[in-house]
């Protein structure tokens, strides 16, 4: 296994650690390729009911490894084109993953680290951690799905403000803006994220998958089209074992017990 990425299991939760602390967990092509190859099988692995991603050491991720970019044999434009291609596959896997993906932000999340966190379903951040898009201050535009996901979280005006002025965003401000789910004490993000993942693992993943899919795609269709997607979704959920159990439990006035 590529030691730039560490994966361990905590029961039915897969814990992924970006393991390049010497460069603030900045990612080169090989590291991102390794991450992609690790998360793809998790989609179909029924033993995995949640994914937590964090950074080894004192930071989450500082984005692309600029030393790798500048040393690329074809120059920085080719380097960014290459690394964005594999990074965007990672983002797509996170957004289409039919189970929860939670970021445990334990320090700086900047550039591609910022957009990687945004691509997750939920974000737990430590009090002293900071978010920063960082791209525009370095003459670049935002990638990693940032310009797609950010305005859907904070609105177009706020997203444009973040993109234009690129001010560091504290944990408290991130919570106010809805960029993160919860702020925790320093050193507790990974523990809290795993705890959240365990709680979600007890719920219906089939219901979660459909809700995530419908919400992610809600901006891409007319109201008529989207209502049809919802109609198909609720019918399929009702026919699934989880839906049957949920409806039965409601009628019997008890908590549903969903299959592992």
Going edge to edge, which strands form the sheet with 182-184? 5-10, 13-18, 50-55, 101-105, 122-126, 182-184
- Name the phi and psi angles at 258, rounded to 5: -90, 150
Measured over the CA atoms of residue 189, residue 62, residue 11 and residue 178, the dihedral's sign is positive
pLDDT tens column, 95-154? 999 999 999 999 999 999 999 999 999 999 999 999 999 999 999 999 999 999 999 999
User: How confident is residue 1, by pLDDT bands cut at 50, 70 and 90?
Assistant: very low
Gap between the Cα atoms of 195 and 249, Å rounded: 25
pLDDT tens column, 29-66? 999 999 999 999 999 999 999 999 999 999 999 999 99
Query: Which tokens go with 57?
Result: 């050491």
Question: In the chain, what percentage of residues exceed pLDDT 90?
Answer: 97
Query: Which tokens go with 155?
Result: 């609105």
Instruction: Encode 43-62: b = buried (16+ Cβ within 10 Å), e = exposed.
Output: eeeeebbbbbbbbbbebbbb
> Is 2 a residue whose pLDDT tops 70?
no
For 215, the 3-state DSSP assignment is helix
> Is 260 a residue whose pLDDT tops 70?
no
> Is 174 a residue whose pLDDT tops 80?
yes
pLDDT tens column, 184-243? 999 999 999 999 999 999 999 999 999 999 999 998 899 999 999 999 999 999 999 999
- Name the phi and psi angles at 13, rounded to 5: -110, 130
Return the DSSP state at 25: T
Gap between the Cα atoms of 254 and 260, Å rounded: 18
Gap between the Cα atoms of 14 and 42, Å rounded: 8
Rounded to two decimals, the pTM is 0.95
For 116, the 3-state DSSP assignment is helix
| CA distances in angstroms from 86 to 33, 35, 70, 92, 172, listed in the order given | 6, 10, 18, 10, 32
Gap between the Cα atoms of 89 and 100, Å rounded: 17
pLDDT for 220 equals 87
DSSP secondary structure, 28-58, as one string? -HHHHHHHHHHHGGGGT-TT--EEEEEESTT
């Amino acid at each position: 296994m590529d030691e730039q990425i560490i994966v361990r299991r905590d029961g039915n939760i897969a814990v992924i650690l970006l393991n390049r602390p010497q460069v603030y967990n900045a990612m080169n092509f090989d590291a991102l390729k390794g991450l992609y190859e690790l998360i793809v099988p998790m989609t179909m692995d029924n033993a995995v009911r949640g994914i937590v991603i964090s950074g080894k050491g004192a930071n989450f991720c500082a984005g692309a490894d600029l030393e790798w970019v500048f040393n690329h044999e074809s120059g920085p434009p080719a380097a960014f084109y290459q690394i964005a291609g594999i990074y965007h596959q990672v983002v797509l896997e996170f957004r289409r993953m039919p189970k929860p993906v939670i970021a445990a932000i334990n320090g700086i999340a900047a550039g591609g680290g910022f957009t990687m966190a945004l691509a997750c379903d939920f974000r737990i951040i430590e009090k002293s951690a900071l978010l920063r898009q960082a791209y525009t201050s370095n003459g670049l535009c935002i990638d990693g799905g940032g310009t797609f996901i950010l305005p859907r979280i904070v609105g177009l005006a706020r997203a444009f403000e973040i993109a234009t002025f690129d001010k560091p965003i504290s944990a408290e401000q991130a919570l106010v803006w809805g960029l993160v789910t919860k702020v925790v004490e320093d050193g507790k993000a990974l523990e809290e994220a795993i705890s959240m993942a365990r709680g979600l693992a007890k719920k219906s993943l089939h219901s979660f998958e459909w809700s995530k899919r419908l919400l992610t795609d809600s901006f891409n269709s007319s109201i008529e089209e989207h209502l049809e997607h919802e109609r198909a979704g609720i019918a399929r959920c009702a026919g699934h074992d989880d839906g049957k159990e949920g409806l039965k439990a409601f009628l019997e006035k008890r908590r549903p017990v969903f299959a592992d």
